[in-house]
Amino acid sequence: MKNHLKIYILLTFLMLTMSVYAQKILLQEDVKAYFSNTDNYGPNLRHFRWVYLNYGHFADSPEYPDFGTIPLRTYAFSGGIYYKLKLARFYSIGIGTEYNLNNFTISQIAGKTFPTQTIHTKERVRLHRVGLEAYQRLSFGNRGNVMGFFLDIGYYYNYAFSTRLIILDKYDKPMYGAKTIEILYKNLEFVNNFNYGARVRLGYNRYSVFADYRVSDLLDSNIGVQMPRLAVGLQLALH
């Protein structure tokens, strides 16, 4: 009898516990009132910020007879923070700050004149930059507190705080006691440190494809050549 009483008490306790948890509100009846009582922070709320990573390759080739870059070795990487302010159901504006790395691997073709006429095993111009971006976002379709489908159109401005020319040569016979020699040149005078351009992103939630087009000339106009302008790649939002 005592055992039955213990089981009855235990079952009663479990049922009461489940009843309490069952009353937990999973969906607010008045969504507008609920959001007005929060800090209004979230992917589809008034304020939101997140970290992102970009990786892409330059899609266009410089059209000069004696100058070119190797597409698969010419890439852009960046990472930074975005902030978004929602102004209407389908419209937001935002700003961002980023670190940006551009690597241009120069084709070693006969007759090349930039940066020198010498043919090397590998030759790269590498830029480390910081920048700002302003953008506007158009969102599509009905969605909860997630980003959903969106289109960003923006404009960026950046500064190259480190410019480098990296030259690598390999030899069958050792030179200066080594078969591989790498030379690094810093603070390149032929690079314009300030640059600006346009950006477009098309995405869904955390994933998007982007296209960056540099409007300004990366190299001094006296050089006679220019680096590729259009970078296309993928963006991952970390939130």
Instruction: State the Cα–Cα distance between residues 134 and 117, nearest whole angstrom.
Output: 40
Cβ proximity of 54 and 232 under 8 Å = no
Measured at the CA of 179, the angle between CA 174 and CA 181, to 5 degrees, comes to: 115
pLDDT at 113: 87
Which has more confidence, 53 or 66?
Answer: 53
Q: How confident is the model at residue 177 (pLDDT cuts 50, 70, 90)?
A: confident
Mean pLDDT of the chain: 86
Other C-beta atoms within 10 Å of 82: how many? 22
Measured at the CA of 139, the angle between CA 135 and CA 142, to 5 degrees, comes to: 160
Cβ proximity of 236 and 212 under 8 Å = no
Domain spans, the chain = 29-238
Q: How confident is the model at residue 36 (pLDDT cuts 50, 70, 90)?
A: low
Please say whether the structural domain 29-238 has been given the CATH code 1.10.3470: no
Question: Whole-model pTM?
Answer: 0.80
Cβ proximity of 222 and 189 under 8 Å = no
